[in-house]
Structures are given as structure tokens and as C-alpha cells.
Structure 1
Amino acid sequence: MSRPYRVAAVAVTIATTVALSSGCSSARIPEGNQGASPQPARVTKLLVFVVENHSLRQMRYGMPWLSRLATRYGYATGYRAITHPSLPNYLGIAGGDTFGVTDDAPPSAHPINAPSVFGSAVRAGRTATIYAEGMDTRCQRVNGGRYAVRHNPWTYFRSERRMCRRHDMPLTALSGDVTAGDLPQVGMVIPDVCNDAHDCSLARADEWLRDQVGKALRGPDFTSRHLAIVVTADEDDGYHGNRVLTVVAHPQLHHVTVRRPLSHYSLSRSYAEVANIEPLAHAAGSRSLLRAFGLH
């Protein structure tokens, strides 16, 4: 090939490469893989933060730090809570069922004789912990101060009370577990009724999440890619179809948006997958939240 033709061919090759590269940056990647690396991550721990009573739209516009986290990593636009009020949604996450509960009464009114995903994980030799803010004693089964027992689902599972008393901890235990890389495989973090935006503003909840989730993002469990973090709401405000903002953070994810229908049962199933146990009740027939994001 003569030199002019070689120069022209090289120019065409460079132009084609640049065009393809720029096209990749704006093209829509198939849902569930958008921004994800081709190899699935080995997620062995799942830590879920739950706030209160706000819709997807309210959370996106009223919680700027959480909104930026959603944009950086990923979020689900079709994720819905199960029902109203709070308690049956927490039970749905923990047990894959609402167990016929339609109110927010304490454990003494609703002793559940069924397994939870937390207890099932412990029985299988895995680790599980709920960290509840404002709780004075482990597995506290009555309200106290800003602690609301209706937001602490493990306290309702009667057959697991011994495990609950051992592994249902005050929030003060979280920081040490984060720093040590000792977070549980099945974990949940429950703010008090001010920091979860139930009684106080979304702005306050956003600042609380910035502090608590931010620490977990910097911890060794997350940076080693073993931990996925989820932030969701138990329910919306009752006026938006129970669609809530659900953010999934993991080092593998970059600007992912999942539009598939998901629910708290999807989250319960993901807990079971991380712990390598059978999903409970309705979770067994639900789409996995982590799989929807390509993380399991």
C-alpha cells in the first residue's frame, strides 16, 4: 500500500475508534447492566438502611446527598413498598410476608410464629444484625424515647427471641463493625423516628444518612467489593402509589437505573441470596433486587 493510502486508512481507523468511544458514553446500556462491569461481583454482605414515609419523588428532591448517591451508583424507579402502615412493610422485608398485620401494634400484640431471614441466616451459620438507633437494650420490645419498636422487625418473631437478644443491637455497635470490616452478611440499620424523617425533615434524614452510610462506604467491607448497601423507605406518604426511592451502592455500579417492578419482597429475597439460604414466603416468587442490578 502506498504511503498516501496508508495515511488515509490510519485516519479512518482513528476516526472510527473515536466515534465508537463517544457513542458508548451516551448509548443506553441494557437495564440491569447499565454501568456495571461484565463480571458479577461476589457480594457476600448486604446492609440496608430504612427511612420513613416518603415517596420516590419526595426523596429525590428533598434528600440531595441520597440523590447524588443514587446517580453515582444506582437506583430503582419501579420499587414499591407492600402496604400501609409501617409495620407490615418491615415484616415483609424480614419474613417475606405481612402475616396479616394491618397496624403498628407492638410485638406483644403480634407474636409471629414463623422464621425471619435474620434468624434463618443465623441458624445456617451466617451472621445477621439489626442496628437500631435509640434502643436502650438489645432486642427492645417496647417503645422508648425516639426508638419505635414497629421499625425493628426481628422483635416480632417469637421463636427467635434468643437470637434477637444476641444480635439485635443498639446503633452504637455499627461504627466499630464498619471500621473492623466485621459487618454481618444480613444487616439492617434503623434510624430513630427523627433521623428517619418520620417526625423530622427529609433534610435531617439526608444528613444522618450522609454520616452513617458515608462511613460504611469508606469501610473495608465496601471497598473490598463484598458489601452492597441499600437505602429504601418503608412506605410512601400514601399519595404516590407506594413507590419509594431505593438506592443500591456497590463499587461495581456506575449510573445504573433499573425500571423493573421490585418490592420489599425483592429485598427479602436478596438477603436470602447473600446468606445462601432459601427465600421466605412471597420472597421466593419475587424478582431479586441484587440480581436486577447485576450483583448476584
Structure 2
Amino acid sequence: MSTYHIDVEGDILKVKFGAIKANGDRIVKDAAKRLDELLGFGAIPGGKLLKIDGPASLPVCYLIAHKLSHLYGAIAIFDPKIGRKGYKTYIIAITHTPAYEIGELIETEEPQQDKQGPKVVICGPPQSGKSCLREGLKQVISSIKDAPYPYVITACPDGEGSWFSEVAQRDPGLARSLKDAYKSKFTVEFAQKAASWVHSANAPLNIIDVGGKITEENQLIMREATHAVILTGERDKIPDWKRFCEDLGLGIVAVIHSDLHATEDNIITKSPILIGSVHRLERGEDVSRREMVKALAELLVGMTR
């Protein structure tokens, strides 16, 4: 089975990660093999404009640009964070023609789903393991048959992007140094920008990772979401976060105690709210096999159906 899928629908290149977990070298090799197949079949003939729709790693993006940019006058990338509701909007990223400008927005007649996908914010105090939970959820959701790709918005400038967990598993020191280098201040300007990302996000499943404090900045971001997962290592903080989410009109779908010293998860109830604990959300560990992480992933996927 391939770790990366590429197909062609008219002038749109549809791309997505496969269910098999793999490192970037394997993924880019599989992507290259599939592109060569499509080119050999004549399925990618070239033309004025190629639109690319779907998630891709940075190496795969470079690969696609290398193999296809000379065949098209311009290449545009779908961005779920921008555009008019109900329609897909692409950004021109490569152009060899005056017909298109870098950064130009292309709104297509290709309809987006009318049903708004859930926008689920993972919130709670600092050091609760929110980023670890986010990465575990991505892995589990990607392995569920017919599940939508979990589109993640990192709405806190802590420098810990989606790359962090995998790097930390291999080299904790490098992960920490990169995080420190990328970290920036949490300003009102950043909060406004992040809020606009959440507002415009129109993927079937959107997961938002926010900072660990009850602030006006987080209020600005979170009020654009639809649901909340509360994760905290301190049980006495749960009421404060529940009130914060309820005041913003968010539907609370899970309340999870993050227990760093436990050796197993504990699921108390699954309905109407997922309640329980998850053990050892430690940076650098693969948490995708935790029972609570799997239960939450199934819940989020169920919300999209």
C-alpha cells in the first residue's frame, strides 16, 4: 500500500496521505512513483493552470513543483482558511505567465460542502499535553477508513508546529532548539490573524490548538470554533475552562484529565460527553495507541458524518 495518494480530476491534482504511518523519505518516494505513473499514462498533460487540492508534506510539495511546474503556465494550491463559504479558493504559487500573478486568488466553481465541518478547539492549562494529543489524534484519524483528513490550525505562537512530535521522538534536543527558535509573542495581531483562520476554515474536520491561558486573545480565537475538548493535568481547573467554553457558545465534547504518572487510560463515559483520563502525554512519545486518544478520534470523525 502507498503512503501517499495522488489522482487527477480534470485540471485538479488530488493529493492526500495514506493510512500507513511512514517517515518523510518513504512518503516522498511513494509520491514520486505515483507521479511518474500518472505522467507515463499521459494523465498529467500540462496546460494553462494546475490546481492542487489536499494535504502535502514540504518534501512532497518540492517534488510536485520539480516534476510538474514546467508543464503548466501556473500552479495554484487550495487553502481551506480563505475564500467564500461554499466554494474552494486556490492561491497561485508558481507562474510562468502574465495571465496569473503570485499570490492571486482563484475561486473555482467547484462547490465546497454546504455542511460546515466541526471546528474543534483543544484547550486547557499549559503543560497539559495538548500538542501531543493533537498529533496522536491526527495519526488515529488518518488510519480510520473514509475519515476526513484532520486539518490542524496551530493558533498559538509557541513554535511547536505539527512537525514537533515526530522530531522529538527522534531527537528531543533538536526539537527543543527548533521550537525555541520559532517561538514568538502572543499578540493581539496574531490572535486576530488566527481567529480569521478559524473563521474561514472549511475542511470537513478542523482541529485548533490554542494557548494554555484564559485570555482575551484566546477568547477572540475560540469564539470562531464550534466545539471544544478540555484537556488538563489539574482537575480543579476544569470548571474555569468549562465556563470559558460555555460563555463562548462552544459545545464541549470531551473533558479529559491528563495524568502524566498513570500507566493506563480511564474512560468514564463516552456519551453525551467523553469523560475520563489519558496517561503520559509526553513529548517525543507516540500516543496514538492510547485508548482515550482512539475514543476521541472516533468521536470527532463521527461528528463529520
TM-score (norm 2): 0.32
Larger Rg: 1
Which structure features the higher share of helix residues? 1
**Which is bigger in relative contact order (C-alpha 8 A, separation at least 6)?**
1
Which structure features the higher share of strand residues? 2
